[in-house]
A and B are shown apart, each in its own frame.
Chain A
Amino acid sequence: KNEVEQSPQNLTAQEGEFITINCSYSVGISALHWLQQHPGGGIVSLFMLSSGKKKHGRLIATINIQEKHSSLHITASHPRDSAVYICAARESDKIIFGKGTRLHILP
């Protein structure tokens, strides 16, 4: 059974800080997704990764297939980055979500 674990569960930081959110999974996957969920429920897809690294603006996502681990980094964090960040692992015909990391950036 594939488990997806995220850390930390909650993170509060000051505006401008470099943020790292971690995701680990227990079995082989075909792709890993990072999602952002704002209060009210709407989810936005940030990245889909199967290897290496992707960058979009201030967001960077990396994945290490051998170590079964992915990280989401936010550079120069801003209060508007406050949200829940969820990783989701795709294993053949299943998608398994982590419980999310609640990020709060203080101005």
Chain B
Amino acid sequence: DAGVTQSPTHLIKTRGQQVTLRCSPKSGHDTVSWYQQALGQGPQFIFQYYEEEERQRGNFPDRFSGHQYPNYSSELNVNALLLGDSALYLCASSPGQLFEAEAFFGQGTRLTVV
């Protein structure tokens, strides 16, 4: 079992561009959640997808959007990138709702906006 896989591992984008990050959940997990972690800070919850719908959302602007596919894999899209969007983006999968059971995390995608 490959666990949670995220791609790409590193990404450099220019301010104003758009980016798509990808996450494949652990086998048997149907819920995917996304987090932003700035340097030296704890992760912050962006949103959760379950049954291909956004179920919960943290305090992030509409520039942050996502999608979940029928195979439970997920994408995080960020439009009109700002310098402040530079962070480690983590994806976690779990069986069922947000953190009701043990969550498994990917290694993250480090996004740098220049």
Pick from B33, B44, B99, B110: contact of A31, CB under 8 Å: B99
B33-46: CB near A (< 8 Å → 1, else 0) gives 10101001111110
Q: Which of A42-50, A62-70, A71-79 is found at the contact surface with chain B?
A: A42-50
* A31-B107 in contact given A93-B56, A99-B41, A100-B42 (Cβ < 8 Å): no
B90 CB–A CB distance under 8 Å: yes
Chain B residues within 8 Å of A95, by CB:
33, 45, 98-99
A58 CB–B CB distance under 8 Å: no
Contact call B58/A94, Cβ cutoff below 8 A? yes
Contact call B102/A41, Cβ cutoff below 8 A? no
The complex places the Cα of A88 from the Cα of B104 at a distance, in Å, of 14
Instruction: Report the minimum CB–CB distance from B47 to chain A (whole Å).
Output: 11
The complex places the Cα of A100 from the Cα of B106 at a distance, in Å, of 18
* A96-B45 in contact given A33-B99, A41-B90, A88-B99 (Cβ < 8 Å): yes
The complex places the Cα of A96 from the Cα of B43 at a distance, in Å, of 8
Chain A residues within 8 Å of B35, by CB:
97
Tell me the nearest residue of chain B to A40, going by C-beta. Answer: B107
A71-107 at interface with B (beta carbon < 8 Å): 86, 88, 90, 93-100
* A98-B42 in contact given A42-B105, A42-B108, A45-B104 (Cβ < 8 Å): yes
> A-B pairs with the 9 shortest C-beta distances?
A97-B42, A43-B105, A41-B108, A93-B56, A99-B42, A90-B99, A42-B107, A97-B43, A45-B102
**Using a CB–CB distance below 8 Å, which chain B residues touch chain A?**
33, 35, 37, 40-45, 55-56, 58, 88, 90, 92, 98-108, 110
Could you list some 10 contacts between A and B, CB below 8 A? Answer: A33-B99, A41-B110, A45-B103, A48-B101, A88-B43, A93-B55, A95-B45, A95-B98, A97-B44, A98-B42
